[in-house]
Amino acid sequence: NAGVTQTPKFRVLKTGQSMTLLCAQDMNHEYMYWYRQDPGMGLRLIHYSVGEGTTAKGEVPDGYNVSRLKKQNFLLGLESAAPSQTSVYFCASSYSNQGDGYTFGSGTRLTVV
């Protein structure tokens, strides 16, 4: 089935460890996004990409890095995890830049201890 696939689905990290979350889409979408979801705060945009090889900062980019080397993949990296980065991370992609047509992945639950 076409869509957005996130790996892993769950992960527990120790403070200071690093990891990479992978997002893959097979819909040929130009635009991809990483959000974090925390209780009572909705989803907040971390970074986004408007095309292969491009990235831009969102609302809460500190502590994260991203790369979009291939159009279908958008990687989110945590270089030195902190407990404040405990969250559920969602990747999304879209075909337009008009704010609609988003497809979301099922999320990655990350706990930093």
Q: Which is nearer to another protein, 57 or 70 (CB)?
A: 57
Q: How far is CA 67 from CA 12, 40, 73, 83, in A?
A: 22, 29, 8, 23
Q: Which residues bind another protein (CB under 8 A)?
A: 4, 33, 35, 40-45, 48, 50, 56, 58, 90, 92, 97-100, 102, 104-107
Provide the 3-class DSSP secondary structure of residue 53. Answer: coil
Per-residue DSSP letter, 71: T
Could you identify the residue written with the tokens 């403070």? Answer: 15
Q: Residue 88 is encoded by which pair of tokens?
A: 């559920």
- Closest approach of Cβ 88 to another protein, in Å? 9
Q: Which is nearer to another protein, 38 or 79 (CB)?
A: 38
- Closest approach of Cβ 53 to another protein, in Å? 16
Tell me the C-alpha distance between 106 and 113, whole Å. Answer: 23
Q: Which is nearer to another protein, 77 or 101 (CB)?
A: 101
Q: Which is nearer to another protein, 13 or 31 (CB)?
A: 31
- Closest approach of Cβ 18 to another protein, in Å? 25
- Count CB-CB contacts under 10 A for residue 112: 19
Largest CA distance in the chain: 39
- Closest approach of Cβ 106 to another protein, in Å? 5
